[in-house]
Amino acid sequence: MSMSKTVNGDLGTTADAAAVRRAISSTPRPPRPTPASAALTFGWRAMLKVKHVPEQLLDVTITPVMFVLMFTYMFGGAVAGSTAEYRDYLLPGLLVMSVLFTTVYSGVALNTDVTKGVVDRFRSLPVWRPAPLLGTMLGDTARYVANGTVLLLLGFALGFRPGAGLPGVLAALAVTVLFAFGLSWVFTTLGLVLRSPSAVMNAGFMAIFPLTFLSNVFVDPQTLPRPLEAFVNVNPMSTLATVSRGLMEGHASGGDVLLVLAVAAVLTAVFAPLTTKLYRKG
Amino acid sequence: MPDQSSLAIEATGLTKSFGDTLAVDGVDLAVRRGTVYGVLGPNGAGKTTTIRILATLIRPDAGTARVLGHDIVDEADAVRGAISLTGQLASVDEDLTGRENLVLIGRLLGLKRAAANERAAELLAAFGLSPAAGRLVKHFSGGMRRRLDIAASIVVTPQLLFLDEPTTGLDPRSRNQVWDIVRAFVAEGTTILLCTQYLEEADQLADGIAVIDRGRVIAEGTPAQLKASIGGGSLRVRLLDPDQRQQAQQTLTRLLGPVSLEPDPAALVAHGPHPERAAAAVAELARQGIAVAGFSLGQPSLDEVFLALTGHPADDGAGVDDEIEEGQAV
């Protein structure tokens, strides 16, 4: 059989019939990967995306830097009288806000996969069913950690020295990332229900903006009008920001920590199975 | 091999609706191992839905199917372990490089890292993609993307390969490359279910064809049987001298049946002649001294096939658009 030796595009490439025949005839089927290996492979894919997709890279580098510089220096003088004092109030809450913002992209990325058709291939592979989602979420969790780490490092560079030291900071980061993991299932569910990545982006930010801004991240709620104060006080983001502050300063309330972890667990328990079900249904 | 049946696909009464729309309405298929089976139909005829059911991506509402001896619902995992799917939307990850895509699939199929890398390199070379291996797929041309998609489907050799409209939207050169690849698979005995909108594609590649319309199989047979049942294509003749058109029309009508006149004053078209009779008719024109500037015998188009088989043209709006199907399924 002869293969046409046409030149394809600017790359001067052709398929080679003999090599194609060899390629299709030469592969025994290997044993299936273990569930953990399959999930880690999907995690590897998520990491590659951070490398290749500019939005995702910006998300873990520029976004936290921008948040810190913008809010510290814009609001610092007005809200707290000094940027240094405000920085110490703001950073624990800003950590929460910055990390939670990136959870929206988990939904956007999943929707992109579905609308581009690559999910069809994953679903037609004989891999452990939850592997694609779980692996992607593992990769996303790494993204959350990177985002929070960048923010905290910049904070340290600007002189942030919380009372409970590094252990407190790491504890705050851990709780924030756990909460982000729970919240991201909400956005993956959205990602499978809505039609386009931009719809997910819009809906996601429509939810995450008021939830993070109408909290105690930026200001002490006692300065707010009553109804707003009431909302801010029941907003789980406020509790999370309070926990973050408490852990960093060494006076966290155990009850609040439990509450935050419980909310994360409930979100996961409700939305992870929902996401899985929608994903399988295709 | 789990099943010694000579059939790779046995489907009976497959039915699937999305909302109020019946996308697949009682499809029966029997595909022998080692053959290429074409499913031919316009957009929205139910081809993609049928493939997605057989590839275990969606469950049928009714009907049963066995793929390589495994039930597609009860033994879905065994089916997945023996098939590969090349979707209409090119099922590769645009945000990864060509090489990363193939390594990813290799790892997911159980290859160790080194073996997956080696296999990716082998496939990239075979499919003429080595120079682009490190590029993001979103920067690939349509033809390169298709070849990568097909390469991804054979990272581990499947017993059955689903190809959903592998050449739709490709330029003729890229299309020929895909056809050559499919022929190479055929030479190795791979069973292929090929969905296409193009009669020519099914004719070139398939051993058997099912014509599908509005979710139903309306005709089945070999390409030769199918073409014989609908007649040939059309013979288009262009004369040197438009004044001779009337005489040419009389001759062609006598030899071939009804002839229509083209807007071009020197051209005329006879519908559905057998190629041999068409050749004889052109020779007769020359014998009569009617100078022919050019002639062509076209394959019957899908439209003509549809018109012949259903009495209605293949209109895209008749069924569910495949894009919409996806949206409604979630």
| Chain A residues within an 8 Å CB radius of B89 | 116-117, 120
For residue A1, being part of any structural domain is answered with no
**Closest chain A C-alpha to B130 CA, distance in angstroms:** 8
Same domain as B254, residue B223? no
Structural domain includes residue A28: no
Instruction: Indicate whether B315 belongs to any domain.
Output: no
Return the residue of B nearest to A113 by Cα: B93
Hey, what amino acid is at A270? V
Q: How far is residue A266 from each of residues A111, A185, A235, A262, measured CA to CA in Å?
A: 23, 11, 15, 6
Contact B104 A124 (CB under 8 A): no
CA of A154 to nearest chain B CA: how many angstroms apart?
29
Q: How many helices (H) and strands (E) does chain B have?
A: 12, 14
Q: What pTM was computed for the model?
A: 0.80
- What residues of chain B lie within 8 A of the CB of A192, using their CB? 330
Tell me, what's the pLDDT at A1?
38
- For residues B47 and B182, state if they share a domain: yes
Q: Is residue A111 situated within a structural domain?
A: yes
Is residue B65 included in any domain, yes or no? yes
Q: How far apart are CA A206 and CA A219, in angstroms?
A: 21
Q: Which of B95, B135, B148 to mutate to test the interface with A (most CBs of A within 10 A)?
A: B95
The answer to whether B87 contacts A121, with C-beta atoms less than 8 Å apart, is yes
For residue A11, tell me if it sits in a domain. no
Which pLDDT score, from 0 to 100, does residue A12 have?
45
Task: Give the domain extent around A81.
Answer: 33-281
User: Residues B217, B288: one domain?
Assistant: no
Tell me: do B264 and B279 sit in the same domain. Answer: yes
Same domain, B268 and B193: no
Is residue A94 assigned to a domain? yes
**pLDDT tens, chain B, 330 aa long:** 444 568 999 999 999 999 888 999 999 999 999 999 999 988 888 998 999 999 998 999 999 999 999 999 999 999 998 899 887 766 899 999 999 999 999 999 999 999 999 999 999 999 999 999 999 999 999 889 989 999 999 999 899 999 999 888 888 888 888 898 888 888 888 899 999 988 888 888 999 999 998 899 988 888 878 777 766 668 889 999 999 999 999 999 998 887 888 888 999 888 767 778 888 999 999 999 999 998 988 766 666 677 777 766 665 444 444 433 433 333
Same domain, B115 and B242: no
In chain B, which residues have their Cβ closer than 8 Å to the Cβ of A34?
none
- Are B330 and A13 in contact (CB < 8 Å)? no
Residue A8: which of B100, B144, B184 has the nearest Cβ? B144
Answer yes or no: is A255 within a domain: yes
Amino acid letter for position A154: L
Q: Are residues B289 and B206 in the same domain?
A: no
The predicted structure's pLDDT at residue B227: 74
Shortest distance, CA B207 to any CA of chain A (angstroms): 18
Q: HSE-up of A211 (CA within 13 Å, CB side)?
A: 17
Q: Provide, as residue numbers in chain B, all residues whose Cβ is less than 8 Å from the Cβ of A42.
A: 108
> How many structural domains does chain B have?
2
- Tell me which residue of A157, A165, A125, A162 sits closest to A45, measured CA to CA: A125
- How many domains is chain A partitioned into structurally? 1
Size of interface A-B (CB pairs under 8 A): 184
Which residues of chain A make contact with B112, given a CB cutoff of 8 A? 30
Domain presence at residue A254: yes
B205 and B239 assigned to the same domain: no
Q: Is residue A19 part of a domain?
A: no
Q: Do B96 and A32 touch (CB under 8 A)?
A: no
The domain of B120 spans 7-228+323-329
DSSP 3-state assignment of B294? strand
Q: What's B65's domain CATH number? A: 3.40.50.300
B217 to chain A, closest Cα gap in Å:
25
CA distance B276 to B271: 14
Residue of B nearest to A31 (CA): B110
B167 with B274, same domain?
no
Residue B165 and residue B129 share a domain: yes
CA distance B249 to chain A (A): 40
Summarised one tens digit per residue, pLDDT across range B200-210 is: 888 889 999 99
In angstroms, the separation between the Cα of residue B177 and the nearest Cα of chain A is 7
A279 neighbors A119 (Cβ within 8 angstroms): yes
B101 lies in a domain?
Answer: yes
Distance from the B183 Cα atom to the nearest Cα atom in chain A, whole angstroms: 9
Block means of pLDDT (10 residues each) for chain A, 282 residues, are 41 73 81 93 92 84 91 82 85 94 91 85 88 90 94 94 93 97 95 92 91 87 87 90 94 92 96 90 68
Phi and psi, residue B24, nearest 5°? -130, 125
Question: What residues of B are in contact with residue A117 (Cβ under 8 Å)?
Answer: 87-91
Nearest C-alpha in B relative to A191: B330
On whether both B284 and B169 belong to a single domain, the answer is no
Q: Of A14, A24, A59, which to mutate for an interface test with B (greatest number of B Cβ within 10 Å)? A: A24
CATH number at residue B269: 3.30.70.2030
Residue B90: predicted pLDDT: 65
Question: What does DSSP say about strands B160-164 and B191-196: parallel, antiparallel, or unpaired?
Answer: parallel
Q: Do the domain assignments include residue B2?
A: no
* pLDDT for position B324: 37
Sheet holding B21-32, edge to edge: B21-32, B7-18, B62-67, B70-71
ipTM above 0.90, yes or no: no
Contact across the interface for A120 and B181, Cβ inside 8 Å: no
pLDDT value of residue B301? 65
Say yes or no: B113 and B174 in one domain.
Answer: yes
Residue from the list B93, B123, B329 with its beta carbon closest to the beta carbon of A118: B93
